[in-house]
Amino acid sequence: MIKITFPDGTVKEFEVGISGIEIAKSISSRLAKEVLSITVNDQLYDLTRSINEDASIKLHTWDDEEGKHAFWHSSAHLMAEALQELYPGVKFGIGPAIDMGFYYDVDLGEDRMLTDKDLPLIEQKMLELARTKSQYTRKDVTKAEALEYFSSIDEGYKVELINDLDDGTISFYEQGNFTDLCRGPHLPDTSYIKAIKINSIAGAYWRGDETRKQLTRVYGITFPKKKYLDEYVILMEEAKKRDHRKLGKEMELFTFSQNVGQGMPLWLPKGAQLRESLETFLKRVQKQFGYEQIITPHIGNINLYKTSGHYDKYGEDSFQSIKTPQEGEEYLLKPMNCPHHCEVYKFKPRSYKDLPVRFAEFGTVYRYEQSGELHGLTRVRSFTQDDAHLFCTPDQLKDEFKKVIDIIFIIFKALNFTEYTAQVSLRDKEKSSKYIGCDENWEKAERAIIEAAEEKGLNTVVEYGEAAFYGPKLDFMIKDAIGRKWQLGTIQVDYNLPERFDLEYVGSDNQKHRPIMIHRAPFGSMERFVAVLIEHTGGKFPLWLTPEQTVIMPISEKYNDYAKKVLNSLNNSDIRAVLDDRNEKIGRKIRDNELKKIPYLLIVGEKEAQENAVSVRRQGEGDMGTMQITEFAELIKKEVEGQMSSISNY
């Protein structure tokens, strides 16, 4: 017999070799139908895999990320089998589960390509195969056996992947007529998959290398019930309406130009105003918490990033070196702000009495993302981080970390992000080569993050292997207005850069000590944050933030002069107002400015001009009646003050 410990601490005995599905059946038949995977001693297992020793377990259903992951990973294999049957000779790259569904990269051959017309055929074939109730069967083989098998069926991409693996046991998964190289876990069989949507087709270079062959990437999503698919379709329709690329164009916030370069956003006047409001807001909050603003260059000597370790880790993803015309020095476009901030810290000797030191910068950085990975503002090559680096003593670390959490809370409240979890991102100790620094410092940093999160009462999840290469971190995962999850805000503890840059302070014992460094970016990047904010709000920003708070619309050219008088009066009251004096009917002006998400629409004509008034409409709500200009200005000011007061009273 073996002892199985459940999440609530209950311990039960089972026979050696019990499986997850059998444990679920012992609890209830309903649970057995809903469970999708199991964690055994922090390792994900197939439900059908034997458990042969005492273990702590957690059963995962569709409500859990682990359950969805197994479901969508199994679906990727099912789609591969469907493609194999529909398009003989297809070769397979990789097919992972992703945040919303899965994809598979495939090589269809030189003379074949998929179009949107193929998507229903793939769905139909997947449903047909799902109904066969084929079991997902795990098989462990040696590396030599794996190479022999995939070489024999001419799967060169799989052979390349296997050659990169360490010697030892490798797992295959088989279902129906398809066999794949895979770690799992998977569903017990294909019948769990009830509803299927193949979403799109894209190009993807093999292993993200633009010098390699471009494969076809097929995206899909599946569900255990058709009603979930129906809800998803509605969600996707809403997501299309909120797409930041669409709204950003309609609202004239940002644009891109091939002449400037891919992934290099150009902020238009209204977008620049939006960014300025966000920066002003955060600077005001940071000032209350004792931050000092600094400015650093957009480039740095290549040796700076070699010292920090960024060049070794990210050199291939950086824009390559810039050589000076005469001296022969090499520079990089700045991929990170933190090495520059370390040099600012070293500007003068520091005492323990000076700490903590908190440097903040809206610093623009540059990273070379593959062209196929670029996506609106969420994946760009040039972006501005709301970066700050704190240098503190060991005794100050936890309190400083908790204060950063407070700043993130203020931001989330200001922008109505009410649902979020905190992800504690730790290292994978089995892959120590990915990280720099000694075990002792890593353990101190991880313990400080975990304790700070507990003391702030955060709802946390722990993810191993998601730490930065120089230290563990706390990432905030928010849920937007239509239920999608985004990573916003990060706090990282770093013992390693102070060591690499030889940072010091003189302690109360008159001896030299190393400060501890905290990296933090509550927005993350201005570009990605604005993209998420647009989609979260549908472009309807809070009044304090919106670039254009009101628009004045004369009903004919006769009243343009009065409209300009209203404009000047509002601008003098620090209200962001614009004039729409186009020679268009008032109905057209209203529709156009509603589309731009301007909160207040002011209509002026003969009556308004005579009474020194404006006719007021609230975006999406309709007519609010006629007001004096001063009365309307007071309305705007009070609404903004109310919003800001609510934030400051956090």
Q: Compute the CA torsion angle 103, 318, 244, 586 (nearest 10 deg).
A: -150
d(CA 548, CA 387): 27
d(CA 648, CA 285): 9
385, 396, 549, 619: which is the annotated catalytic residue? 385
Residue 401 token pair: 């970390």
Identify whether 387 is a catalytic site residue.
Answer: yes
Specify whether the CB–CB gap between 446 and 466 falls below 8 A: no
Taking CA atoms, 343 is separated from 243, 323, 504, 635, in Å, by 40, 22, 12, 48
Peptide linkage before 472 cis (omega within 30 of 0):
no
Burial class (CB in 10 A: 0-12, 13-18, 19+), 171: middle
519, 528, 596, 617: which is the annotated catalytic residue? 519
182, 338, 342, 392: which is the annotated catalytic residue? 338
Identify whether 77 is a catalytic site residue.
Answer: no
387, 480, 494, 580: which is the annotated catalytic residue? 387
Given the structure tokens 């090495």, which residue do they identify? 339
d(CA 362, CA 283): 10
d(CA 565, CA 461): 56
Specify whether the CB–CB gap between 48 and 23 falls below 8 A: no
d(CA 452, CA 463): 17
Identify whether 338 is a catalytic site residue.
Answer: yes
Which residue in 218, 221, 222, 216 sits closest to 200, CA to CA? 218
Q: How many CA atoms lie within 13 A of 596 on its CB side?
A: 22
158, 389, 403, 427: which is the annotated catalytic residue? 389
Taking CA atoms, 278 is separated from 275, 530, 542, in Å, by 5, 9, 12
Identify whether 536 is a catalytic site residue.
Answer: no
Residue 80 token pair: 């591969």
Beta pairing class for 485-494 and 505-506: unpaired
**389 labeled part of a ligand binding site:** yes
d(CA 593, CA 242): 17
Which residues, 6 or more positions from 319, have their beta carbon under 8 angstroms from its beta carbon? Answer: 332, 333, 335, 366, 367, 368, 381
**298 labeled part of a ligand binding site:** no
473, 520, 536, 597: which is the annotated catalytic residue? 473
Burial class (CB in 10 A: 0-12, 13-18, 19+), 30: exposed
**438 labeled part of a ligand binding site:** no
217, 367, 403, 513: which is the annotated catalytic residue? 367
Specify whether the CB–CB gap between 191 and 131 falls below 8 A: yes
Identify whether 207 is a catalytic site residue.
Answer: no
Which residues, 6 or more positions from 175, have their beta carbon under 8 angstroms from its beta carbon? Answer: 74, 77, 78, 81, 134, 135, 136, 137, 186, 189, 190
Identify whether 512 is a catalytic site residue.
Answer: no
Identify whether 389 is a catalytic site residue.
Answer: yes
Q: Rounded to the nearest 5 degrees, what angle is found at the Cα of 92, between the Cα atoms of 90 and 93?
A: 145
Given the structure tokens 């940072």, which residue do they identify? 503
Binding residues: 338, 389, 519
Binding residues for Zn(2+): 338, 389, 519
Catalytic residues: 338, 367, 385, 387, 389, 473, 519
